[in-house]
Structure 1
Amino acid sequence: MSDPRASVEIDAPLEVVWQVMLDTASYAAWNPFVVGAETAEPPAVGNPIVLHVRWADGSRTTSPERITAIEPPVTDTEGTVTARLSYVYEGWPARLGLVRGTRHQRLTQRPGGPTTYDTVEEFSGPLVRFAGPGRVADGFRRHAEALRSHAERLAP
Structure 2
Amino acid sequence: MKEAPVVTAVTRISAPVEDVWRVLVAFDEYARWHPVLSLDAKPEQVVVGAEVPGRLSGGDAAEQDVTMRIVVVDAPRRLVWEGGSLDAILGRHSFVLAPRPDGTTEFTDSEEFFGAAAAELVPTLDQLTQEYSRYGAALQARVEGLPG
Shift of 1:69: 1.3
Partner residue in 2 for 1:101? 91
Partner residue in 2 for 1:84? 78
- Which amino acid counterpart does residue 116 of structure 2 have in structure 1? P
Partner residue in 2 for 1:146? 138
Q: Residue 108 of structure 2: which of 85, 109, 118 is its match? A: 118
Shift of 1:53: 1.6
Shift of 1:100: 2.3
Higher mean C-alpha displacement, 63-72 vs 136-145: 136-145
Provide the rounded CA distance (Å) in 2 between the counterparts of 1:63 and 1:144.
20
Provide the rounded CA distance (Å) in 2 between the counterparts of 1:60 and 1:125.
22
Give the alignment of 1:28-43 within 5 angstroms.
Answer: 28-34=31-37, 36-42=38-44, 43=46
Equivalences, count: 142
**CA offsets 1:31-85 (integer angstroms, 9 cap, x no match):** 1121x11235412211101231235347322222101111113xxxxxxxxx001
CA contact (8 A) 1:105 1:119 kept: yes
Partner residue in 2 for 1:19? 22
Provide the rounded CA distance (Å) in 1 between the counterparts of 2:147 and 2:72.
25
Shift of 1:136: 3.9
TM-score scaled to structure 2, two decimals? Answer: 0.82
Provide the rounded CA distance (Å) in 1 between the counterparts of 2:141 and 2:91.
27
Segments of structure 2 that go 5 or more residues without pairing to the other structure are: none
SS of structure 1 residue aligned to 2:15: coil
Q: Residue 65 of structure 1: which of 57, 60, 68 is its match? A: 68
Provide the rounded CA distance (Å) in 1 between the counterparts of 2:140 and 2:112.
23
